[in-house]
Chains A and B, each alone.
Chain A
Amino acid sequence: MIQIDPIQFLMQAGGLFVWVCIVAVVYAVVEKALGGPAAQDVPTNM
Chain B
Amino acid sequence: MEAVAAEFAFMATAAGKAFVILMDPVRLMYLAAGCVMGLVLGIVPGIGGLAGTAMLLPFTFNMDPYTAFALLLGLGSTTATGDPIPAVLFGVPGGAASAATVLDGFPMAKKGEAGRALSAAYMSSLMGGVFGAFLMAISIPILRPVMLFLGSPELLAFSVLGISMVAVLSGNAPLRGLTAGCIGIMIAMIGTDPQSGTLRWTFNSLYLWDGLPLTPLLLGVFALPELCDLLIARTAIATDTSMSNIYKGQWQGVKDCFKHWWLILRCSWIGGGIGSIPGISASVVDWLAYGHALKTEKGAALTFGKGDVRGVIASESSNNAKEGGALVPTVAFGVPGSATMAILLGAFLIHGLVPGPDMLTKNLDITYAMVWSVALANILGAGMCYAFSPQFARLSILRFSLILPAVLGIVYIGAFEATRQWGDLYSLLIFGLLGWTMKQFKWPRPPLILGVVLGDTIERYLFISVERYGVSWFARPVVAILFIIAIIGLVRPFLQDIRIHGGVRKMVTNFQAPRFHASQLFTIFVITVLGAACYMALSWDFSAKIVPLVIGIVALIAAGVSLFNDMCRKPETGMESLIDQTIHEVERQIAAGESSGGGTAAAAADQKIHMDLTSETGHLPLNVIVTRAARFFGYLLVFMGIMAVIGLIPTIGLFVVFFMRYENSERWPLIITYATVLVIAVTFVFEHIMHIPWPPTFLGQWFPALKAFVPSLA
- Residues of chain A whose beta carbon lies under 8 Å from any beta carbon of chain B: 2, 4-5, 8-9, 11-13, 15-17, 19-21, 23-24, 27-28, 31, 37-38, 40-41, 43-46
CA distance A15 to B709 in the complex (A): 8
Contact A13 B675 (CB under 8 A): no
Can you name the residue of chain A whose Cβ is closest to the Cβ of B691? A3
- Report A-chain residues with C-beta under 8 Å of the C-beta of B235: 43-46
Choose, from B240-248, B525-533, B573-581, B656-664, the stretch at the interface: B656-664
**Known interface pairs A16-B679, A23-B654; 15 further A-B residue pairs with C-beta atoms within 8 A, sorted by A's residue number:** A4-B688, A9-B688, A12-B710, A16-B676, A16-B683, A23-B657, A23-B675, A37-B661, A38-B662, A40-B665, A41-B234, A43-B399, A44-B236, A45-B235, A45-B236
A residues less than 8 Å from B709 (CB atoms) = 11-12, 15
Contact call B711/A27, Cβ cutoff below 8 A: no
Q: For chain B, residues 670 to 692, give those with C-beta under 8 angstroms from any C-beta of chain A.
A: 671-672, 675-676, 679-680, 683-684, 687-689
Whether A20 pairs with B675 at a CB distance below 8 angstroms is yes
Complex contact A8–B237 (CB within 8 A): no
Given contacts A20-B672, A24-B672, A43-B236, contact A12 B711 (CB under 8 A): yes
Which chain A residues lie closer than 8 Å to B8 at the CB level?
A: none
B664 and A40 form a contact (CB under 8 A): yes
For B679-714 the 0/1 string (1 means CB < 8 A from A) is 110011001110000000000000000001111000
B561 at the binding interface (Cβ < 8 Å): no
Q: How far is the CA of A16 from the CA of B673 in the complex (A)?
A: 12
A20 contact set on B, CB distance < 8 A:
653, 656-657, 672, 675-676, 679
- Let me know if B550 is at the binding interface, CB within 8 A: no
Beta-carbon contact of B689 and A45 below 8 Å: no
Q: A24-B657, A40-B664, A43-B234 are in contact. Are A2 and B680 (CB under 8 A)?
A: no
8 smallest beta-carbon distances between A and B, as pairs: A43-B236, A37-B665, A20-B675, A43-B234, A16-B679, A45-B238, A23-B657, A4-B688
Name the residue of chain A whose CB is nearest to the CB of B687. A12
In the complex, A13→B616 CA distance in Å? 38
Nearest Cβ on chain B to A26's Cβ, whole angstroms:
9
Rounded to whole angstroms, the CA-CA distance of A24 and B624 in the bound complex is 28
Chain B interface, >50% SS class: helix
With known contacts A20-B672, A24-B668, A46–B708 Cβ distance under 8 A: no
The interface size bin for chain B is: 35 or more
Residue B5 is within 8 A (CB to CB) of chain A in the complex: no
Nearest neighbor of A3 in chain B, beta-carbon distance: B688
Instruction: Let me know if B710 and A15 touch, CB within 8 A.
Output: yes
- B689 and A2 within 8 A (CB): yes
Q: Is B273 an interface residue (CB 8 A)?
A: no
Residue of B nearest to A45 (CB): B238
Which of A5, A11, A46 has the most CB atoms of chain B within a 10 A radius of its CB? Answer: A46
Chain A residues closer than 8 Å to B710, beta-carbon distance? 12, 15
| CA distance in complex: A4, B711 (Å) | 13
In the complex where A21-B672, A23-B654 touch, is A44 in contact with B689 (Cβ < 8 A)?
Answer: no
Q: Mark B625-665, 1 if CB is under 8 A from A, else 0.
A: 00000000000000000000000011001101110011111
Question: Cβ of B684 and Cβ of A23 under 8 Å apart?
Answer: no
Known contacts A24-B668, A28-B668, A37-B661, A19 near B653 by CB under 8 Å: yes
Given A37-B665, A44-B234, are A16 and B711 also a contact pair (CB < 8 Å)?
yes
Which B residues touch A5, using CB under 8 A? 688
Interface assignment of B544: CB less than 8 Å from any CB of chain A = no
Do A16 and B657 touch across chains, with their CB atoms under 8 A apart? no
- Measured between alpha carbons, how far is A43 from B237 in the docked complex, in Å? 10
Among A16, A20, A40, A43, the most chain B Cβ lie within 10 Å of the Cβ of: A20
CB-defined contacts of B679 to chain A, threshold 8 Å: 16, 19-20
User: B72 interface residue, CB < 8 Å from A?
Assistant: no
In the bound assembly, the distance between CA atoms of A20 and B235 in angstroms comes to 26
Q: B138 near A: Cβ within 8 Å?
A: no
A-B contact pairs, 13 of them (CB 8 A): A5-B688, A15-B709, A24-B671, A37-B661, A37-B665, A38-B665, A40-B664, A41-B624, A43-B399, A45-B237, A46-B92, A46-B235, A46-B237
Tell me the minimal C-beta distance from B690 to chain A in angstroms: 9
Instruction: Collect the chain A residues with CB atoms within 8 Å of residue B518's CB.
Output: none
Q: Using Cβ atoms and an 8 Å threshold, which residues of chain B touch A43?
A: 234-236, 399-400, 664
Q: Residue on A with the closest CB to B684?
A: A9
Q: Is the CB of A44 within 8 A of B684?
A: no
Known: A45-B236, A46-B235, A46-B237. A13 touches B688 (CB 8 A): no
- Asked if A40 and B657 make an inter-chain contact with CB atoms under 8 angstroms apart, the answer reads no
User: CB-CB contacts of B578-619 with A at 8 A, as 1s and 0s?
Assistant: 000000000000000000000000000000000000001001
Q: Which residue of B lies closest to A17 (CB)?
A: B676
- Complex CA–CA separation, A13 to B676 (angstroms): 8
Report B358 CB to chain A, min CB distance, Å.
Answer: 31
Bound Cα distance from A43 to B689, whole angstroms: 38
For the complex formed, measure the closest distance between the CB of B675 and the CB atoms of chain A, giving whole angstroms: 4
Q: Which residues of B contact A38 (CB under 8 A)?
A: 661-662, 665
Q: Which residues of A contact B224 (CB under 8 A)?
A: none
Instruction: Assess whether B508 is interfacial by the CB under 8 Å rule.
Output: no
How many angstroms from the CA of A7 to the CA of B172 in the assembled complex? 59
Please give me the residue from chain B that is nearest to A39 by CB atom.
B665
Give the docked Cα–Cα distance between A13 and B656 (Å).
16
Which residue on B lies nearest to A6, using beta carbons?
Answer: B688
One of B92, B624, B649 near A16 (C-beta < 8 A): B649
Contact B650 A16 (CB under 8 A): yes
Given A23-B657, A40-B663: A4 and B689 within 8 A (CB)?
Answer: yes
B680 touches A13 (CB 8 A): yes
Q: Nearest Cβ distance between residue A38 and chain B, in whole angstroms?
A: 5
